[in-house]
Chain A
């Protein structure tokens, strides 16, 4: 016993569309808590309008998510400038400056004698004015991110680098004597290599060579 296809189908289709429409309208009215079941359900009617409507949101509200445009995206962090991470502190502390100054002084004490020995005139000028050179170089060194980070983060380790420089000083002196000033020469004699000092005093460079 079934209804005819046309009448039953039309009625069912009408109820289906009405139910769908009712669901949409209920969602448009918002939600409420059912008094009987205590469950949250869509409102069946719009209900009485509020006596004190909420204040109108400014025009800066975006229509999509209700968030003002100025707060739609989080501001960039303070350390982020033009897509590049800025680690350099704005002001170098006096402690870091003293560390750099001490390191430069040790470099002068290490390299200065070598330079004086190889070139007394130029090396002497460098050693005599080393303090002024270091004082003038510190502001320039503080501009370097790498230098400041080195003395800020690894201030306890730069002495190891100074120790390495002191250890390498004899090597530097030997290289200068052998390959730059040629004051020494290696001579092979009887299957052995001997270090022979060279005397260039008879070959002055400040006298014209006789034709």
Chain B
């Protein structure tokens, strides 16, 4: 055991930094417009690009909303009864990215929920269920 966290052995992924820099230079930050990246040969490559953009966004301290679409513009992350299914895994794909600053992201959250965390689409502080003592009373 080296004493390090296992994640520390993961090499820092900076492959998307040039792309993010270019997008920020072009004024995509907080614009609401999607930055379109094309040229992915299949779904897996595009998904790896999406993950790389998300990692790079954390490095730049900005929020990224990236998603994968196929050649017809159909989103590949939509839930279906069979799970998340890509209709054309072997076909060309694209990645759409929107960039937001942290302040803009917080403002968007406050505006959409009115400051009520229970209205969040995902509330990280919500407990799964009420824990009870051995006698059945709530803790």
Chain A residues proximal to chain B, CB less than 8 Å:
1-4, 7-16, 18-20, 22-23
Contacts and interface: CB of A to CB of B under 8 A. Distances in A.
Interface in B8-36: 15-16, 18-19, 22-23, 28, 33-36
The 7 closest A-B pairs by CB, nearest first: A12-B39, A19-B45, A2-B36, A15-B49, A16-B45, A8-B37, A7-B22
15 contacts: A1-B35, A1-B36, A3-B19, A3-B37, A12-B38, A12-B39, A12-B40, A12-B45, A14-B15, A16-B45, A18-B48, A19-B42, A19-B45, A22-B48, A23-B44
Contacts of A4: 22
Contacts of A1: 28, 33-36
Contacts of A13: 39
B101 interface: no
Given A3-B36, A8-B39, A12-B45, 4 more contacts: A1-B35, A3-B38, A15-B40, A19-B42
Interface string B71-89: 0000000000000000000
A9 B49 CA distance: 12
B45 A11 contact: no
A1 B28 CA distance: 9
Contacts of A2: 35-36, 38
Nearest to B37: A8
Nearest to A11: B19
Given A3-B23, A19-B42, A11 B49 contact: yes
B40 to A, nearest CB: 5
